[in-house]
Amino acid sequence: MPILRTATILVINCGSSSLKYEIIKMPEQQSLGKGLVERIGTEGSIITQKTKGMKHCENFDCPDHKEAMKKMCELLINEEFGIISDLSLINAVGHRVVHGGEKYSESVIIDKDVIKAIEENVELAPLHNPANLIGINEAKEIFPMLRQVAVFDTSFHQTLPPSAYLYGLPIELYEKHRIRRYGFHGTSHRYVSNKALDMMRRFKENTNVISCHLGNGASITAIEHGKSIDTSMGFTPLEGLMMGTRSGDIDPAIIFYLSERGFSNDEINHMLNKKSGLLGLSGISNDLRDLEEKAANGNEKAKQALDVYAYKIRKYIGSYAANLVKVDILVFTGGIGENGIKMRERICHRLESIGIFMDYDKNSEVGANPGIISQPYSPVAILVIPTNEELQIALDTYDLYV
């Protein structure tokens, strides 16, 4: 067997006011350490770095991402709590990029054309693509000789057929304004679906998967023979499931109704994205743990919000099962998917008619660990798989590096 080339990959995920990073050794897929810079551009900026069982937190003045990257580099090689001994040990940089539009169906080495494409898609992801570009440009300045790779959230869903990605709108809106369903969380769905195949010792060519990424943001993807054929998020991450603070699917006429009653576009946009979902329905919290506690103590609004959340997810699972014809694996991932034991029970209850039989004891025992939580006789295997988008980015970067 050929000896695989060793590489140290820096994974960067730049948000509008944050910077996540991780150092991963390949091909061992070993995380050497990770960090997070929060509140970039505001008071109280803080960096937290974890490695070798140690955790270091530090407040510092961070007016922009340039300063965040500078601090990241300082801590990466810090003598006391650094992750690596020298920045020259980094062999390649992988970047999470939210929107690649229709141009990219896989991860790519970043060049001028890729930069241009990310810029062209800023209007489709105005909160994320600009920050992703900042991370790329800063990394190119710090590591000018290293290969930089873009891993797009949308690329996995570029295999959707027109029947799944087109809206029932005038076709000119798609042709001239690029209005279609793009889907998001693609890196996560791709990672856990591949892990599911490994766990069940199956080949993608004869396996269909429904992947549920459930967190504060949530989406479900139907994966046929390794390819995404439908996903719940659409033109934006607002479509689809009800989420922590997002409404998910609603009658679009509600927007006009609210507008006619004095609500501004900004107010409606803020309401649908930040004040709806679990938070809006319960009036309590967007955190599932808070709602479970309140529901256990008899709070009816908390119970109702949890029931609506589970119901919406069951509807999507059912519709995807109908389109896939045959479902082999159902995966739960994301903060709620991995940790929400009771929520997984709510979701799987009443899905027996489509071959999904949960083992409730196994579900409780597995918790947030990888494992099978279905009955031995269940036609559909139910799995809990912790997602690891950073590792998927490292895997893609490594493939393009070697």
Q: Rounded CA gap, 114 and 108, in Å? A: 8
20 is in an annotated binding site: yes
Question: Could you identify the residue written with the tokens 């603070």?
Answer: 245
CB atoms within 10 A of CB 237: 24
Closest CA to 204 of 219, 212, 215, 194: 194
Could you give the residue ranges of the DSSP H alpha helices within 238-276? 253-260, 265-274
What value does the CA radius of gyration of the chain take, rounded to a whole number of Å? 22
Q: Say whether 330 counts as a known binding-site residue.
A: no
Going by their DSSP bridges, the two strands 329-333 and 381-384 should be labelled as parallel
**One-letter identity of residue 140:** K
Annotated ligand binding at 289? The verdict is: yes
SS3 call for 384: strand
- Rounded Cα distance, 303 and 296, in Å: 8
339 is in an annotated binding site: yes
- Lookup: tokens for 383: 């799995």
Q: Report yes or no: 238 and 273 within 8 Å, Cβ to Cβ.
A: yes
Residue 261 annotated as binding? no
Residue 215 is labelled as binding a ligand: yes
Residue 389 annotated as binding site: yes
Q: Is 315 helix (H, G, I), strand (E, B) or coil?
A: helix
216 annotated ligand binder: yes
Asked whether the beta carbons of 120 and 101 are under 8 A apart, the reply is yes
Annotation-wise, does 241 bind a ligand? no
335 is annotated as contributing to ligand binding: yes
Cβ 177 vs Cβ 107: under 8 Å: no
Per the annotation, does 258 bind a ligand?
Answer: no
CA gap 388, 41 in Å, rounded: 28
Active site residue 396: no
- The tokens for 28 are 């061992």
Distance in Å from the first CA to the final CA of the chain? 16
113 is in an annotated binding site: no
Of 153, 328, 359, 396, the catalytic one is 153
Asked whether residue 287 is marked as a ligand-binding residue, the answer is: yes
Q: 388: annotated binding-site residue?
A: no
Rounded CA separation 350/346 (Å): 9
**What is the spatial distance between Cα 137 and Cα 210, in angstroms, rounded to a whole number?**
36
User: What is the C-alpha separation between 360 and 381, in angstroms, rounded?
Assistant: 13
Q: Say if residue 178 carries a ligand binding annotation.
A: no
Q: Is 96 among the annotated ligand-binding positions? A: yes
Which residues carry out catalysis? 153
> From the annotation, which residues make up the binding site for substrate?
96
> From the annotation, which residues make up the binding site for ATP?
20, 213-217, 287-289, 335-339
> From the annotation, which residues make up the binding site for Mg(2+)?
13, 389
> From the annotation, which residues make up the binding site?
13, 20, 96, 213-217, 287-289, 335-339, 389
